[in-house]
A and B are shown apart, each in its own frame.
Chain A
């Protein structure tokens, strides 16, 4: 039996299942927007990020798999300075949305990372009882040039902690490129070399600080391998993001938001194509999943079990996940569809067509 958590516009759903037989077991925070969820493998705790329409972002934590929840502190910016280089900052110093939650390493019990819109990175060392803004990243001068990509302000949506070294953290900013720290957040380096932004004037296309990664994932078995779905296509790195290699756009499209990579096989990754930037629906109304097994040289397109006529599902950046077995995948859309595959994405089974818009799903 496996467990899957779905963060949706109308609450957090818990699903249990095995193979392709899955069902909803619990619904928490009914009616409330849940933007991110973390199932912490270190201690079994679940953390849910809410974005209350009137009352701001909140964090709730459960140590008993959702039987009870306790509200804990939410990340919050410090008072905006009234003098100095950031006094005229046009970005609001107030968290609008928690977009990413990540656990620190096994040697850092209680450490959590939160990526937000606006693009503040926050760290807790007490399991969410308190949070502090990472000022080296927030105050690095390039942050002033970050742009919103679909939201009014830039945000951090992907955070990966190196399993070999917890002080090595890589994150992706939409739009602000990929940034890495090797000293636990005391200093940051822009590592977006190789990416191209075709939405910019040609002479600016290589500007790493202006890139729009949609989602970035890391191979657990080989953490130097990163996969990234970018606004302008798919990228792959086998040197920890020092150099990004653009992948020839697969059929039917290289555009999309979500990416998942096999935790055991660094050559295998999945993508969910949408038509184009300007038309964010499945190509020809046919929903498909693309998989590469050879590092992006070739792709197979799978459609079995997915709607093939007048399907307008968009799988948003956190709407695809693979379980630790490398075979079970879950995928959910912003129009409330949820599908499961038990054979590495080759066949899919619908679990529901009637869920709220899904922001994130994660296997426990």
Chain B
């Protein structure tokens, strides 16, 4: 299984415990994890279902540059972390 965890900065808006979901493409993994908290999806994705530009997705500590296609394959044991990027004032 793949572990998907959302950072506290996201969970303060919509709570979501770490999720264990089936391996697959990154988009499939994220969408499956967000089934546990559908209201959180609009925080992670924009209207076109791309990762928001001030949200960062890491796979096994490596930041994912792709925000739209998200077809990176994930295997059992991989860990996905969704955090907020640094921005604002």
Contact = CB atoms under 8 A, between A and B. Distances in A.
Interface of A: 52-56, 58, 71, 74, 76-80, 92-95
A94 B52 CA distance: 10
B27 to A, nearest CB: 14
A54 B55 contact: yes
Contact of A94 (B43, B46, B85): B46
Interface string B26-37: 000000000000
B72 interface: no
Contacts of B85: 54
A43 to B, nearest CB: 24
B48 A56 contact: no
Given A71-B39, A74-B42, A76-B42, A55 B47 contact: no
A346 B9 CA distance: 47
A94 B48 CA distance: 7
Contacts of A54: 9, 52, 54-55, 84-85, 87-88
Q: Main SS of chain A's interface residues?
A: loop
Q: Main SS of chain B's interface residues?
A: loop
Contact of A53 (B39, B47, B88): B88
A58 B46 CA distance: 12
Nearest to B40: A55
Interface in B69-89: 84-85, 87-88
Given A54-B9, A54-B88, A77 B54 contact: no
A80 B10 contact: no
A93 B45 CA distance: 13
A171 B13 CA distance: 32
Contacts of B84: 54-55
Given A80-B48, A93-B48, A56 B9 contact: no
A77 B10 contact: no
B42 A56 contact: yes
Given A53-B88, A54-B85, A76-B42, A93 B55 contact: no
A239 B85 CA distance: 50
Nearest to B50: A94
B48 A55 contact: no
Interface in B43-65: 43-44, 46-50, 52, 54-55
Q: Looking at A53, A55, A71, which has the most chain B CB atoms within 10 Å of its CB?
A: A55
Contacts of B43: 52, 55-56
Contact of B47 (A52, A58, A71, A94): A94
Nearest to B54: A54
Contacts of A52: 13, 43
Nearest to A74: B42
Contact of A76 (B10, B44, B47, B50): B47
Nearest to A55: B43
A95 B47 contact: yes
Nearest to B85: A54
Contacts of B55: 54-55
Given A52-B13, A54-B52, 14 more contacts: A52-B43, A54-B9, A54-B85, A55-B54, A55-B55, A74-B42, A76-B47, A77-B48, A79-B48, A80-B48, A92-B48, A93-B47, A93-B48, A95-B47
A54 B57 CA distance: 13
Contacts of A77: 47-48
A29 to B, nearest CB: 11
23 contacts: A53-B54, A53-B88, A54-B54, A54-B84, A54-B87, A54-B88, A55-B42, A55-B43, A55-B44, A55-B55, A56-B43, A58-B13, A71-B39, A74-B42, A77-B47, A77-B48, A79-B49, A80-B48, A93-B48, A94-B46, A94-B47, A94-B50, A95-B47
Contacts of B52: 54-56
